[in-house]
Amino acid sequence: MSMHYGNFSSKGANADREYTEDRISVLPINVLDYVVELLPIEDAARTSILSKKWRYIWAMSPNLVLDNLFCNKLAKESCSFFYNTVDNILLQHIGDIVKFDLDVSGLGLPWYTDIDRWMHYVTRHGVKKLNLNVPKNSTYKVPSYIFNCSTLTDLTLSNCVFKSPTSFLGFQNLITLCLKSMTFVPTAEFCVIKVPLLVDLILDCCQGTRYLNIVSPQLESLVVFRSDCLELNCFRNCKKLKRIIFSGTNKVVDVYPKYLESSTLEKFLFSLPTLAILHLESHFLKLLAADNISKELPFALDCLWHLSLHVDFGKLDQTSYALQLIKISPNLTQLRIWVFNTSDNAEAVSEYLDSPACLEQPLNKLRHVTLHLFKGSKTELALVKKLVAHTPSLVRMSIKPNKVMDSWKERNIAIELMRFSRASPRAELLYLPNVV
Amino acid sequence: MVKLKSNDDKEFEVEEAAVIQSEMIKNMIEDGCATSVIPLPNIDSKTLIKVIEYLNKHINMGKAAETGEEDDLKEFDEQFVNMGWEELFDVIMAANYLNIHELMELCCQSAADRLKNKSVRAVREMLKITNDLTEEEEQEIINDAPWAFEGPEIDDTVN
């Protein structure tokens, strides 16, 4: 190994040392594998021709990612060219395919028998991480090969129809399951899917979730986006849940579970002894807050360190519920609040936030607070004032306005913010009017 | 503090919290083998300085999201890999030997980014790879995956 030193100046200063001999080809094979894995498939395939040493590195690479861009490019030629090329790639592959990504969501395919065949192939070649994305509304049914594949640890399926086979016992080794825009249909008989090792579950924009009954005692993270239904019953026994994200908004249309009841949600959330990260969007906070004006919550979230909430500061129930959640979390270190809405005329809310009773004890562990979509209303300022006065360990409070306000208003907000007395001597208060 | 010694006999003191990002050293510490200086016969001092710079910056990286320092780290990483091939391979070898997963990923990703969309001729030229394949073999490889060798995006320049 060459030894050039004596030039210890800052980074990049030695960038001109000339590269004269082939060093990449003598790197350990695991490093070459890794570089090839990180290349898009065309570039990866092209490395086969660099030299004898490189001849089979790509063919033996355990990861095959056929992304949207690549599939579209092939299908532009013709559908049969696409089918043939993927067939060829699989035929030439040497050894196990540990990770297989196939994204045909942008293709108008006349049939899906080839996809079934490829799924059959990869599930017999040791696939652990499988990601399949078919076109929206395709009615493509998840083939039985996937259900019966015991090597799977990570499974992501998008836009398919999910109907488990009658004899299905569950995914024995699955750790991560992500289902996007899936349609679940009822099976002939009531069927429980056992996923004994599942840690992460993401349900995004799925339909018919009530037909999905999962038993997953090891589950640590439950993320539900835009679901028309949320059956919390099947998660009742997930005592290891650490992370909950419930969200319903997107740019086009908001979807929330229709029949979820306030008491069910509350009972569920407060029955999780290890909950550490909680993210609730407006609908869920609204639901929880509905019957709870200024009521003290008889629970504690002892492990919670990250709380993120969408709050309507025009509403007293939501504002007070948000504060209740903060108060019952003695180990909270990070708080993120999205100002979902606010009102300058919400006298009751301002009065509540100004009253000493709304927050008496110091929040000793809270170190980082971020307010997103800040609109500069009286209620928001009252909240900031309250928080900085009760957070002796605060490191940083960041305030990010949702749009550019006029400079006169911004100046007034800044002056107001500066006046607040802070319990933490080292607290940094960042008002970021230009960062939207 | 943990003491590391490069192959040109220079010693460096590194905080334990930083150095345990190396799986290899972490295991040594856990096994009680890191009481005196740890010799690193495969790494020269210049490369070791780079690696230590990285380790120090990435202490408690898991907490970066919590403190809003992600952007800061991203910028550091971008600057960090702004180096020639020679240095990049030195750091990759060191990261591979010390088993520092994040540093491996960063450097291999940088290598991949530099090779992306480059023609075969350009890659061979950039990396000084000698072509030892016969013409027949080359044609065979092209016939196996013709789709990889055509397209307007393939860039034949070397830089």
CATH number at residue B83: 3.30.710.10
Q: Pick from A19, A35, A48: which is nearest to B111 by CB? A: A35
- Give the ipTM of the model, two decimals please: 0.91
**Residue-wise pLDDT tens digits, B88-146:** 999 999 999 999 999 999 999 999 999 999 999 999 999 999 999 999 999 999 999 99
Over 60: is that where the pLDDT of A12 sits? Answer: no
Residue A17's pLDDT is 64
pTM of the model: 0.85
Condensed to tens digits (0 to 9), the pLDDT of residues A71-109 reads 999 999 999 999 999 999 999 999 999 999 999 999 888
Range of the domain at B83: 2-115
Summarised one tens digit per residue, pLDDT across range A284-321 is 898 888 866 656 788 899 999 999 999 999 888 899 89
Assess if residue A52 is contained within a domain. Answer: yes
Tell me the angle at which helices A316-327 and A282-289 cross, rounded to the nearest 10 degrees: 90
Contact A375, A342 (CB under 8 A): yes
- Considering B115, B131, B147, which residue would you say is the last residue of a domain? B115
Residues of chain B positioned with their CB less than 8 A from the CB of A41: 148
Nearest to B91 by CA among A51, A23, A36, A47: A23
Binary contact (B46, A4; C-beta < 8 A):
yes
Longest pairwise C-alpha distance within chain B: 58
Calpha distance A245→A221 (Å, rounded): 8
Number of domains into which chain A is organized: 1
Whether B83 contacts chain A with CB within 8 A: yes
Percent of chain A exceeding pLDDT 70 equals 92
Band (B66; pLDDT cuts 50, 70, 90): low
B111 with B142, same domain: the answer is no
- Tokens 């349900």 -> residue: A203
Chain A residue numbers touching B57 (CB-CB < 8 A): none
CA count, 13 A, side-chain hemisphere, B4: 31
Rounded to the nearest angstrom, the gap between the alpha carbon of residue A203 and the centroid of all alpha carbons in its chain is 10
Task: Supply the mean pLDDT for chain A.
Answer: 87
| Residues B13 and B65 both lie in one domain | yes
| Pair B16, B34 in one domain | yes
pLDDT digits 0-9 by tens, A137-177: 888 999 999 999 999 999 999 999 998 888 788 999 999 99
- In a domain? residue A366: no
Q: Mean pLDDT, to the nearest integer, of B20-44?
A: 88
Q: Which of A31, A331, A367, A399 to mutate to test the interface with B (most CBs of B within 10 A)?
A: A31
The answer to whether residue A105 sits within a structural domain is no
Query: Helix, strand, or coil here: A150?
Result: coil
B28 and B105 in one domain?
Answer: yes
Restricting to B residues 116-145, those with a Cβ less than 8 Å away from any Cβ of A are 116-118, 120, 123-124, 127-133, 137-138, 141-142, 144-145
**Does residue A351 carry a pLDDT above 80?**
yes
Rounded CA separation A87/A55 (Å): 20
A165, part of any domain: no
What is the rounded average pLDDT of the residues A341-356? Answer: 83
Q: Closest residue of B to A47, CA-based?
A: B120
Q: Give A100's strand partners.
A: A64, A130
Three-state helix/strand/coil letters over A243-294: EEEEECCCCCCCCCCCCCCHHHHHHHHCCCCCCCEEEECHHHHHHHHCCCCC
B71 & B126 share domain:
no
Check the CA dihedral B121-B122-B125-B126 and report its sign. negative
Long-range contacts of B10-14 (CB under 8 A, 24+ apart): B10/A5, B10/B45, B10/B48, B11/B37, B12/B45, B12/B48, B12/B49, B12/B52, B14/B52, B14/B55, B14/B56
pLDDT at A10 over 60: no
Residue-level pLDDT at A382: 92
Name A409's Cβ contacts closer than 8 Å, sequence gap at least 6: A376
Same domain, B21 and B75: yes
Residues A366, A331: contact at Cβ < 8 Å? no
Looking at the structure, do residues B25 and B79 belong to the same domain, yes or no? yes
Do the bridges between strand B2-5 and strand B11-14 make them parallel or antiparallel, or are there none, so unpaired? antiparallel
Shared domain check, B106 and B132: no
- With 50 as the cut, is the pLDDT of residue A219 above it? yes
DSSP B85: H
Three-state DSSP at A340 gives: strand
Is A3 within 8 Å of B46 when comparing Cβ atoms?
yes
Q: Does residue A257 lie in a domain region?
A: no
Residue B86 at interface with chain A, using a CB cutoff of 8 Å: yes
Supply the pLDDT for residue B91: 95
Residue A111 has pLDDT above 90, yes or no: no
